[in-house]
Structure 1
Amino acid sequence: MTNGVKHMKWWGWGVEGIGFHHEDKPNFAPFVLDKVGLDLSHAPDKPPSFDEIEVPASRLSDELKSTLVDLLGEKFVVTEDLDRIVHTFGKSVRDLIRMRRNQLKRIPDAVLYPADEDQVRAIVDAIVAADAVLIPFGGGSNIVGSLEPRAWEDRIVVSVDLGRMNRVVEIDDEAGLARIQAGALGPALEEQLNRRGWTMGHFPDSFTHSTLGGWIATRSSGMQSDEYGDIADITRGVRVVQPGRTLVLRPLPSTSTGPSVREMILGSEGRLGIITEATVQVHRLPDERVILAYFFPDWPTGLKAMAAVSKSEAEVIVARCSDDRETAFSFSTQKKQKGVKKYVTEAVFKVLERRGWDLSKLCMSFIGFEGSKEHVKRNKELVKQIVQAHGGMVVGKGPGVLYDQKKFDTPYLRDFLLDRGAAADVSETSAPYSKLQGLYDNTIAAAENAMAEVDCRGYIMCHLSHNYHSGACLYFTFAIADMSDDVLAKYDHVKRAIQQSFIDNDGTLSHHHGVGREHAPWMSQDISPAGEQMIRDLIQAVDPGDNLNPGVIVHDGKPGITVMSADHVDERDTSA
């Protein structure tokens, strides 16, 4: 904790003392050995101690430091090594591997902690006047390279951490709107709202370690977006500090005032300024909330059922379906069952076998409901009818309760696998329902072919979530069993194959993780060269000096091509 602002551990996800453990999950080690070839009985590697990390010296000039100290106070202009390292990377597998391997090229020269919008405005003007680089920082959970300075950057780089700006400022009870400072982390934000009977309803996987400003800057989606919408739907008004000015968008329900400036800020990743505050939609806490589990005989059936739910009268907060690969993985992470629970599970599987189901193709779904008791009851019945019409089976609350309890724990698995010799990451996309099956089939094939080409054992799995009228998100998780010197090159090869498959099969390159540097090489393929040029022109108009988080969203890299500048290789520009 620095100046009252909490950060994740520098070498991995979350906080010290919390992690994924497999000793109480008897099926997990055999599953990993079978699918990826990792023997979990071997002692894991330990992350390096911070003393082993070679931290590049700060380049902050005395002149600029004096200016910043005058603006913020000496306590809030931090040049200590640990703070600078924490603010260098996000939490992608590439970030964590390079951190563990002491591969640091360019890190921020200082970390600034403003207390309010006036201080943010003063920082932006001072940084632009000094022709330095400014990178906004929320919770540090980004996995697409939105936080890292360019490797060849020779200007002073500062990270602006908004962690002190974490309050719910006011709630408009009549409108159902809340003004919230951009640095508020998910748990703090919800706690403040809940005390007054409200919820924002936005719960991404990174909820415990991400901020409102970060959600807006990356166009985040939450687990309950089927009901509440994604952050683009939730955000109504916003304040953004730009060089020499402050953009103010009032929280209007709808407008017809030209191209949407609000949409320009959503997903801007710091390139159009620093988001200091947003006014968001909030909802009264529901009387009842329940997550139920369902089984489907195979993945194509599950996809069709999810599409049917989305087009029905049923109102759900989440409708998620895992493919057989992810379902098998989920079963492997269950704790040993005893007594009645064991016999109930065995009885369910016997019923399915009698129905003629191939249990190796079994797909598990989670669908959630909330509202009044009558509302929940009606919608549970509507979904039950759809599930049964598609040959599915209602399982009940047990697995749903477990899903709810563990929904924010998944990122810890990445550290667990890194300690044991595997690189695991995620890629997500969205496409029309008519394209989802082909996109899924071709992406699985592309990833497995890429793994074979780099001679790596690996595994890829998927779930559908975030349903819309016309389509849904497919969320892929993949891992390769490799921790050799060239693991990042092998990882890149697999990641590129997945991202290119998204584009080739009518999907988008990212549904809710943003663009950063990881996905920027595909922007012209995704939105057309004309669309990419419009983004370049917009950024140039707002930030002609290229001082605001340069290199993210659009850059000159191409998929699989090394980009050289000032005799330095930017690893981000060579990758997915």
Structure 2
Amino acid sequence: MVREVLSTRSWWGWGTVEGAVTGNERAALVERVAALLPGQDLTDHEPPDPVDLALPPARLRPPDSLAGCTSDDVTDRAAHAHGKAFRDVVRNLHGDLRHVPDLVVRPSTEQQVVDVLDWCGSAGVAVIPYGGGSSVVGGVEPRCTGYPGVVSLDLGRLDRVIEIDTTSRAARVQAGVFGPHLEDQLRPSGLTLRHFPQSFEFSTLGGWLATRASGHYATLTTHIDDLTESLRVVSPVGISESRRLPGSGAGPSPDRMFLGSEGTLGVITEAWMRLRDRPQHRAGASVRFADYPAAVAATRDIAQSGLHPSNCRLLDAAEAFLNAGVSAGGGVLVLAFESADHPVDASLARAVELCREHGGVVDAGPTRVSDDWRSSFLRMPYQRDALARIGMVVETFETACTWDRFEALHAAVTEAAQAAIREVCGVGVITCRFTHVYPDGPAPYFGVYAAGKWGSTVAQWDEIKAAVSEAIAAHGGTITHHHAVGRDHRPWYDRQRPEPFALALTAAKAALDPAGILNPGVLLPEPGVRGRVTW
């Protein structure tokens, strides 16, 4: 008999309580930090019990029709107050919950979603769609003013695959489904969405759609946009449902208006998603380089070759050493190919040949580096939490740029990060990896590991983040490739988007959300607040 393993979501940090870094893993992690930073205060700080935080009482009472799906439980409200960024985790550890939803509402039908928006619209109550709560940009935080109350809208009960069209290879799916449950429901059909962000286990389809999330696959269908056939969205003024089509030239795409809208224009309740057959053929290799520019050039050649690897992840020397245990002066390129139809060995062989033309050396035992890095990758958020508890500054940021700008952007961002780290932390390390590659450019993803001071680590990170964001903006990168805008990226997003588009987005917001209740402060200023962004 297979025994179900029960797990408890952590209210303050990543994932589950059972998945947290403890025992020998924690001891080894702290030992490594102590060796790198002798004299650093590594005192562990336990998270508080939400019951002891004296949260303000809920200001709202739901209508009787919604009472059965509404919670004002203290721990529930605390768990929905922040996302899962480093600054969220640290503030939770300090018990710093200045903005907490009054109620958490979990509808089990679309009609209840309509009822929530009707009630909140008439009462002027802010509504923040929660998704899986894995936002790392302040996207689910009720950091808004001037409202008589705030509701966190959690669609976790809307989690079914309603219909599968095997002929067209598509499925109609409710937006509240988490990644593993979605794949479990698709598996009997032999189909898969094949969308696996790092947050896969703890994020929902609706969250992926609302934030234009990207998965692990490094080429072709990198963003959830590419997998979307149609959307059904509840807005305060009505329901928008687009037609299922493989493609259309009928004016601007209605789906594109809601993809990436981050809960500001409506609540995505269902989507038809494009599926594929589950892969049967796989091949992979890892290639070491002595020179980083050569590694970048090899990666670019592969991205422009038409080979379309499922994984084409370049780890710089620091990333390869810290998270894969590999020494390589120019970094390591992790390659993988897969197909449901045909062997992929020839594609891998050609990609390896391109690497060798740039001095790459293929590792013996091709899957070891990939497996080691993947295991580390899945543990990273848990280890980040453990390091946050001992006063370290550990966080990531990402961007994308064209190949011609990468060298200058990489140098500027690295220099800005190192200067900020020296200024506010004294000592630290910055790493870089490519999460995705396109024929016209890469998506670099940077990691920061720095000595912090307990009680100041949020402010220390905020200074580093501001410095690197300015460098990204100045060198032609996007403020986010897949982490979304939220509230934290707003200052740079406001500068990045064209002004005519900002006017159009503002008009769309006014038309679809006339009371201004949906996720105030995300993408656009709160009603009556001119461009203000406050942390």
Whether these two folds match at TM > 0.5 is yes
Alignment deviations for residues 429-462 of structure 1 (CA, whole Å, 9 cap, x no partner): 0000111121111101001111222243222111
For the structure 1 residues 322 and 20, does the alpha-carbon distance in structure 2 shift closer, same or farther, using more than 3 Å as the test?
Answer: farther
State the match for 1:361 in structure 2: 329
CA distance in 1, matches of 2:471, 2:39: 27
State the match for 2:21 in structure 1: 20
**Is the deviation greater in 389-398 or in 140-149?**
389-398
State the match for 2:468 in structure 1: 498
State the match for 2:355 in structure 1: 387
State the match for 1:343 in structure 2: none
Q: Once the 2 structures are TM-superposed, how far is the Cα of residue 30 of structure 1 from its aligned partner? A: 6.5
State the match for 2:293 in structure 1: 300
State the match for 1:485 in structure 2: 455
Contact kept, 8 Å, 1:32 with 1:38, in 2: the verdict is no
**Is the deviation greater in 382-391 or in 283-292?**
283-292
SS at match of 2:438: coil
For the structure 1 residues 488 and 153, does the alpha-carbon distance in structure 2 shift closer, same or farther, using more than 3 Å as the test?
Answer: farther
- Structure 2 residue aligned with 1:467, among 429, 437, 450? 437
- Structure 2 residue aligned with 1:318, among 311, 320, 329? 311
Q: Once the 2 structures are TM-superposed, how far is the Cα of residue 118 of structure 1 from its aligned partner? A: 1.6
CA distance in 2, matches of 1:555, 1:476: 28
Q: Once the 2 structures are TM-superposed, how far is the Cα of residue 263 of structure 1 from its aligned partner? A: 1.1
Q: Does 1:9 align with 2:2?
A: no
Contact kept, 8 Å, 1:523 with 1:532, in 2: the verdict is no
Q: Once the 2 structures are TM-superposed, how far is the Cα of residue 102 of structure 1 from its aligned partner? A: 1.7
CA distance in 1, matches of 2:455, 2:379: 29
SS at match of 1:134: strand
SS at match of 2:391: coil
1:172-251, aligned counterparts within 5 Å?
172-251=165-244
For the structure 1 residues 242 and 390, does the alpha-carbon distance in structure 2 shift closer, same or farther, using more than 3 Å as the test?
Answer: same
SS at match of 2:379: coil
CA distance in 2, matches of 1:21, 1:367: 32
CA distance in 1, matches of 2:205, 2:39: 38
State the match for 2:346 in structure 1: 378
State the match for 2:70 in structure 1: 77
Q: Once the 2 structures are TM-superposed, how far is the Cα of residue 185 of structure 1 from its aligned partner? A: 0.3
State the match for 1:144 in structure 2: 137
Alignment deviations for residues 114-167 of structure 1 (CA, whole Å, 9 cap, x no partner): 112122112111211121111111111000001111253432211111000011
State the match for 1:400 in structure 2: 370
Which runs of 5 or more residues in structure 1 are unaligned? 335-358, 558-562
Alignment deviations for residues 451-486 of structure 1 (CA, whole Å, 9 cap, x no partner): 222243222111012111211100011133213433
SS at match of 1:228: coil
CA distance in 1, matches of 2:112, 2:26: 50
For the structure 1 residues 27 and 134, does the alpha-carbon distance in structure 2 shift closer, same or farther, using more than 3 Å as the test?
Answer: closer
State the match for 1:545 in structure 2: 515
Q: Once the 2 structures are TM-superposed, how far is the Cα of residue 86 of structure 1 from its aligned partner? A: 1.0
Contact kept, 8 Å, 2:313 with 2:333, in 1: the verdict is yes
SS at match of 2:433: strand
Q: Once the 2 structures are TM-superposed, how far is the Cα of residue 26 of structure 1 from its aligned partner? A: 10
Aligned length: 528
For the structure 1 residues 210 and 471, does the alpha-carbon distance in structure 2 shift closer, same or farther, using more than 3 Å as the test?
Answer: same
State the match for 1:270 in structure 2: 263
For the structure 1 residues 225 and 202, does the alpha-carbon distance in structure 2 shift closer, same or farther, using more than 3 Å as the test?
Answer: farther
Alignment deviations for residues 329-365 of structure 1 (CA, whole Å, 9 cap, x no partner): 1245x9xxxxxxxxxxxxxxxxxxxxxxxx5624122
SS at match of 2:247: coil
Which runs of 5 or more residues in structure 2 are unaligned? 1-5
Contact kept, 8 Å, 2:277 with 2:340, in 1: the verdict is no
State the match for 2:54 in structure 1: 54
SS at match of 2:439: coil
CA distance in 2, matches of 1:550, 1:234: 28
SS at match of 2:395: strand
Q: Once the 2 structures are TM-superposed, how far is the Cα of residue 178 of structure 1 from its aligned partner? A: 0.9
Structure 2 length as normaliser, TM-score?
A: 0.92
Contact kept, 8 Å, 1:31 with 1:329, in 2: the verdict is no
State the match for 2:505 in structure 1: 535
SS at match of 1:195: helix
Q: Once the 2 structures are TM-superposed, how far is the Cα of residue 529 of structure 1 from its aligned partner? A: 3.1
Contact kept, 8 Å, 1:521 with 1:554, in 2: the verdict is no
Q: What amino acid is the match of 1:392? A: G
Q: Once the 2 structures are TM-superposed, how far is the Cα of residue 232 of structure 1 from its aligned partner? A: 0.9
State the match for 1:127 in structure 2: 120
Q: What amino acid is the match of 2:198? A: D
Q: What amino acid is the match of 2:354? A: I
State the match for 2:149 in structure 1: 156
SS at match of 2:533: helix
- Structure 2 residue aligned with 1:283, among 273, 276, 281? 276
Contact kept, 8 Å, 1:38 with 1:420, in 2: the verdict is no
Q: Does 1:409 align with 2:379?
A: yes
Q: Once the 2 structures are TM-superposed, how far is the Cα of residue 173 of structure 1 from its aligned partner? A: 0.9
For the structure 1 residues 36 and 478, does the alpha-carbon distance in structure 2 shift closer, same or farther, using more than 3 Å as the test?
Answer: farther
Q: What amino acid is the match of 2:413? A: T
CA distance in 2, matches of 1:38, 1:145: 33
CA distance in 1, matches of 2:286, 2:23: 23
Q: What amino acid is the match of 2:55? A: V
Contact kept, 8 Å, 1:38 with 1:421, in 2: the verdict is no
Q: What amino acid is the match of 2:48? A: P
State the match for 1:432 in structure 2: 402
CA distance in 1, matches of 2:517, 2:382: 34
CA distance in 2, matches of 1:205, 1:531: 31
Q: Once the 2 structures are TM-superposed, how far is the Cα of residue 539 of structure 1 from its aligned partner? A: 1.3
Q: Once the 2 structures are TM-superposed, how far is the Cα of residue 19 of structure 1 from its aligned partner? A: 2.4
SS at match of 1:32: helix
Q: What amino acid is the match of 1:187? A: P
Structure 1 length as normaliser, TM-score?
A: 0.86
SS at match of 2:476: coil
SS at match of 1:327: helix
SS at match of 1:446: helix
Contact kept, 8 Å, 2:289 with 2:328, in 1: the verdict is no
Alignment deviations for residues 60-115 of structure 1 (CA, whole Å, 9 cap, x no partner): 13xxx2x2x31x4x331111111111111101111111111122222111111111
State the match for 2:3 in structure 1: none
CA distance in 1, matches of 2:136, 2:39: 24
